[in-house]
Amino acid sequence: MKNKRSNKGIQTSIPEPALRRMPTYLGYLRRLAEKGIEHVSAPAIARDLHLDPTLVTKDLAYTGITGKTRVGYEVRALMLSIENFLGLSKVNEAFLVGAGNLGKALINYPGFTDFGFRIVAAFDVAPPIVGQKVGEIAIQHLDNFREMAEKKKAMVGIITTPAHAAQSVADLMIGWGVKAIWNFAPVHIKVPENIILQNTSIYANLAVLLNKLNTRQSSNETD
Amino acid sequence: MKNKRSNKGIQTSIPEPALRRMPTYLGYLRRLAEKGIEHVSAPAIARDLHLDPTLVTKDLAYTGITGKTRVGYEVRALMLSIENFLGLSKVNEAFLVGAGNLGKALINYPGFTDFGFRIVAAFDVAPPIVGQKVGEIAIQHLDNFREMAEKKKAMVGIITTPAHAAQSVADLMIGWGVKAIWNFAPVHIKVPENIILQNTSIYANLAVLLNKLNTRQSSNETD
DNA sequence: CAGTGTGAAGTTGTTCACAGCA
DNA sequence: TGCTGTGAACAACTTCACACTG
């Protein structure tokens, strides 16, 4: 039994970097679709997005689609395949805690709807912020969280608080049934095994950029 | 001459993932320092940050520091070592274009100063936004960019515009001497070889989160 | 021993090479 | 010929094993 990829679990899950590239493909395809373009090949995508052609082919294959030799992929079908793969068909709802600038930016981030993602309620504790309206959402006091969490069920909790508040907010969210936490606070928070934790730190990117800048290593492109 | 990293250039650069973890270490160490803790070991850091102990050791070694057996590292020295390594000693200045919510969030992001990073001017084109003051910064019309770019030299250009404007803003910035571009718009922009491009997409993280959520693969932690 | 430090093994992700197809 | 699709080589990153040290 020669298995080269040592498959310790059952299902080989797809590489995370591939997952991270999916939104890029999707955005690109949507722009093609708007222009009325109906077919696209992996090498063409690769050229436009500065990626390796084989990499594109493999990424697309993960979503389950299959292309036509010489023609490439059908744009609409490919979009649907990716959307489906990412689970964008069903709407995922989220609570947000910490309605400072970053929180507000997320609340009316235009692209979320395209990703089947919706922030349904937002909370803060600071008097000047509580009561403000951001887009459709009125910022509530965090004390209302419990009540709200009983009424509306959201799967995702977004933390955009200062670092010191992040852990207790996370605990609160988990206590009220959130399944995943998207943490923008620059601290590592502890969550139980069964809770999904996604950390997003602006600083990680800044560090890469500053390092490149200060060591002058150009033409290096990442996210 | 046995070089394990296939060294096509001259200097073996450090792994990008390590670089991305540096701000995490730094934040953690700063919190330790505030509490007056003077020494810390790699295994201890690893425990608190949910990382592998050896990984921590290697990451710290990249910054050039060396620890003491049994005692660990001296917190202050370690902080300085990382700060120095990331080039945080000198202040890096930036122009920002696109002062919507995300732009505003970045303008008064509290942590940037800790990273020797400063946004010195911000621009937009929308009448209600131009003229607003965000923190210390007055939003100027993009037409002033050229004039401003001649006066103040900034190394970094931050793009927080809608997707369709990103490329032309990038071109403008490059034309006026920016060395690095930090792009938050969800498109891939083209830049010359010698310009550093750092893409930061909220969607990449969202995709990972939604995929985990919809396939219920929990206890997986990333950024 | 509890820590650092490091070479080797393992794992994951990317790129290459080429077979098959229209 | 220009594309998909795939197994194998390669490169990058992480983890393991263990020698060393106060």
Distance (Å, whole) CA A42 – CA A59: 10
**What's the pLDDT tens digit per position in B155-176?**
999 999 999 999 999 999 999 9
Helix (H, G, I), strand (E, B) or coil at B101: helix
The pLDDT value given to residue A214: 86
Average pLDDT, rounded, for chain A: 91
Query: Is the pLDDT at A222 greater than 90, yes or no?
Result: no
B123, B142 contact by CB (below 8 A): yes
For every residue of A79-128, DSSP letters joined together read: HHHHHHHHT-SSPEEEEEE--SHHHHHHHT-GGGGGGTEEEEEEEE--TT
A200/A203 Cα distance (integer angstroms) = 9
DSSP code at position B36: T
Q: What is the pTM of this model?
A: 0.91
Alpha-carbon separation of residue A130 from A137, A221, B155 (angstroms): 11, 40, 38
Interface contact A50, partner B, CB < 8 A: yes
Does the structure show a pLDDT above 90 at A168? yes
Can you tell me the distance from the alpha carbon of B204 to that of A16, in angstroms, rounded to the nearest whole number? 10
Residue A3's pLDDT is 41
Strand D nucleotides in reach of protein CB atoms, 7 A cut-off:
1-8, 10-17, 20-22
Whether pLDDT at A90 is above 90: no
Footprint of strand C on the protein (CB under 7 A): A 5-6, 8, 15-18, 51-52, 54-55, 58, 68-70; B 41-44, 53-54, 57-58, 60-61, 66-73
DSSP 8-class letter at B15: P
Percent of chain A with pLDDT over 90: 83
Q: How confident is the model at residue B217 (pLDDT cuts 50, 70, 90)?
A: low
Q: Which nucleotide is nearest to A43 (CA to C1')?
A: D3
| A215–chain B Cβ distance below 8 A for any pair | yes
Rounded to a whole number, what is the distance in Å from the CA of A61 to chain B's nearest CA? 16
Mean pLDDT, chain B, integer: 91
DSSP structure class, residue B114: G
CB-neighbour burial class of residue B89 (10 A; exposed 0-12, middle 13-18, buried 19+) = exposed
Q: Decide: A171 and A147 in contact? Cβ < 8 Å.
A: no
Q: What percent of chain B has pLDDT over 90?
A: 83
**pLDDT confidence of residue B90:** 87
Task: Write the DSSP assignment of A50-69 as a string of letters.
Answer: T--HHHHHHHHHHTT---BT
Distance (Å, rounded) from C-alpha A206 to C-alpha B19? 10
Read off the amino acid at residue B7. Answer: N
Q: Which residues of A touch B23 (CB under 8 A)?
A: 186, 201, 203-204, 206-207
Ramachandran angles phi, psi of A155, nearest 5°: -85, -30
CB atoms within 10 A of CB A127: 8
Cα dihedral A109→A21→A188→A117 (10° resolution): 30
Does A1 have pLDDT greater than 50? no
The pLDDT value given to residue A53:
98
CA dist list (Å): B180 to A216, B44, B90, B171: 10, 36, 16, 12
**A101:B100 CB<8 A:** no
pLDDT, position B10 = 42
pLDDT digits (tens, 9 = 90+) for A107-119: 988 889 999 999 9
Predicted local confidence at residue B218, as pLDDT:
58
What is the CA B73 to C1' C9 distance in angstroms? 28
Closest-approach nucleotide to residue B52, Cα vs C1': D15
DSSP A132-166: -EETTEEEEEGGGHHHHHHHS--SEEEE-S-HHHH
Higher pLDDT, B7 or B20: B20
What's the CA gap between A70 and B205, in Å, rounded? 33
The whole-number pLDDT of residue B3 equals 37
The residue ranking higher by pLDDT, B3 or B11, is: B11
| pLDDT band of A37, cuts 50, 70, 90 | very high
pLDDT bracket for residue B214 (50, 70, 90): confident
Kindly tell me if the per-residue pLDDT of A9 is higher than 60. no
Search chain B and give the residue with CA nearest A135. Answer: B101
Q: Residue B79 above 70 pLDDT? A: yes
Distance B54 CA to D16 C1' (A): 9
**Among A73-82, A172-181, B51-60, B104-113, which stretch is predicted with the lowest mean pLDDT?**
B104-113
Alpha carbon distance A186, B35 (integer Å): 18
Number of helices followed by number of strands (H, E) in chain A: 8, 10
CA neighbours within 13 Å on the CB side: how many for B186? Answer: 25
B62–chain A Cβ distance below 8 A for any pair = no
Instruction: Give dist(CA A163, CA A161) in Å, integer.
Output: 6
Cβ within 8 Å, pair A206-B112 = yes
- A133 in reach of chain B (CB within 8 A): no
- Give the closest nucleotide to A16 (alpha carbon vs C1'): C13
State yes or no: pLDDT of A11 exceeds 70: no
**What SS3 class is residue A209?**
helix
